[in-house]
Amino acid sequence: MNFNLPVLAPSILAADFSQLGNDIEQCTDAGIDWIHCDIMDGHFVPNISYGPAIVKAAAESAPEAFMDVHLMIEDPDKYVGDYVDAGADLITVHYEACPHLHRSLQNIKKYGLMAGVAVNPATSLHNLEPVLEYADLILIMSVNPGFGGQSFIESSYDRLQEMARLKEEKGYSYLIEVDGGVGLKNIEQVRESGAEILVAGSSVFKAENIGNRVKELLSKL
C-alpha cells in the first residue's frame, strides 16, 4: 500500500470515550485518514485501555480511515483474529512480548493485514535486525508504554534516525512510526529525525478544539 507520508495518527486513547465518534469525526473532518488504537491489558503494561469493541466502534466512525492497532498486551497472537474482525488494517506487536516474533508477524499477515513491530525505549534496535526485511512497520516507542500524556524521551530522536538510516542503506520498505509525547513543540524535529507515521494522543484530543489542533499539527508536517 502507498501512503501519503508523513501521516499524523491520532491515538484515541486520549479521546473522550463518552463521545468517541464525535471526537474521531472532528479528526477526519480536519484531514485525518489514519487512526491509532492503543490496546493495553494491564499485564504487559501497567494499565488497561480498551478492546476490539472500541476498535470496531472507531472503525465505524471513520469508515475511510486506516485502522492501526498497537497491541501492548501479553500473548498477542491469541487476540490478532479479534482485531482483524474489529476492522484493523495493521496490527503491531511488541518485540518484548513475542518469543516467536517472526511467527507472530506471519500470523498477522496471513489475514492480509500489515504487520508491525514495536520496541520500548530500553530495547536495543539490534534486536529488530532479523525481521526488518519482513516487517511492514517499525514502531519506536518514545515513552514507556501504558499511558498517554507523558513526555517525549529525547533518545528517541537518535533511534528514529537509526531506523531511517537502515531503511535507506538496506532498501527496506518498513514504515517508521513514533508513539508518545509528540506535540506542537517537537513534531517538526520528530519528523526530521525520520518518523513517517506520527502518533499523537493528548496533543490532539486534549486540545480546546480538536479540528484546529489537527490542522495545526498537519501544518508542521
Which residues make up the interface to ligand DX5 (CB under 6 A)? 11, 13-14, 38, 72, 143, 145-150, 179-182, 199-203
Minimum CB separation of residue 156 from ligand DX5 in Å reads: 11
Q: Grid coordinates representing 214?
A: 489537527
Minimum CB separation of residue 81 from ligand DX5 in Å reads: 22
Q: Is 41 a catalytic residue?
A: no
- Applying CB under 5 A, the residues found at the interface with Zn ion are 38, 70, 179
Q: Is 33 a catalytic residue?
A: no
Minimum CB separation of residue 119 from ligand DX5 in Å reads: 13
Place of cell 491489558: 41
Phi first, then psi, for residue 79 (nearest 5°) are -115, -5
**Per-residue CA distances from 95 to 80, 121, 175 (Å):** 15, 12, 16
Nearest to 89, CA basis, from 9, 168, 206? 9
For residue 198, give the H/E element and its range. strand 197-200
Number of CB atoms found within 10 A of residue 111's CB: 14
Residue 14's binding partner out of Zn ion, ligand DX5, none, with CB under 5 to 8 Å set by partner kind = ligand DX5
Nearer Cβ to Zn ion, position 26 or 179?
179
Minimum CB separation of residue 103 from ligand DX5 in Å reads: 24
Residue 207's binding partner out of ligand DX5, Zn ion, none, with CB under 5 to 8 Å set by partner kind = none
Nearer Cβ to Zn ion, position 38 or 41?
38
Residue 101's binding partner out of Zn ion, ligand DX5, none, with CB under 5 to 8 Å set by partner kind = none
Contact 27/54 with Cβ under 8 angstroms? no
Residue 51's binding partner out of Zn ion, ligand DX5, none, with CB under 5 to 8 Å set by partner kind = none
Nearer Cβ to Zn ion, position 110 or 122?
122
| Catalytic entry in 23, 29, 38, 41 | 38
Minimum CB separation of residue 47 from Zn ion in Å reads: 12
What's the CA gap between 129 and 145, in Å, rounded? 22
Q: Where are the beta strands (DSSP E) in the chain?
A: 7-10, 34-40, 66-72, 90-94, 114-119, 137-141, 175-179, 197-200
- Where b means 16+ CB within 10 Å and e means fewer, 117-131 reads bbbbeebebeebeeb
| Catalytic entry in 23, 41, 68, 179 | 179
Which residues are known to be catalytic?
Answer: 38, 179
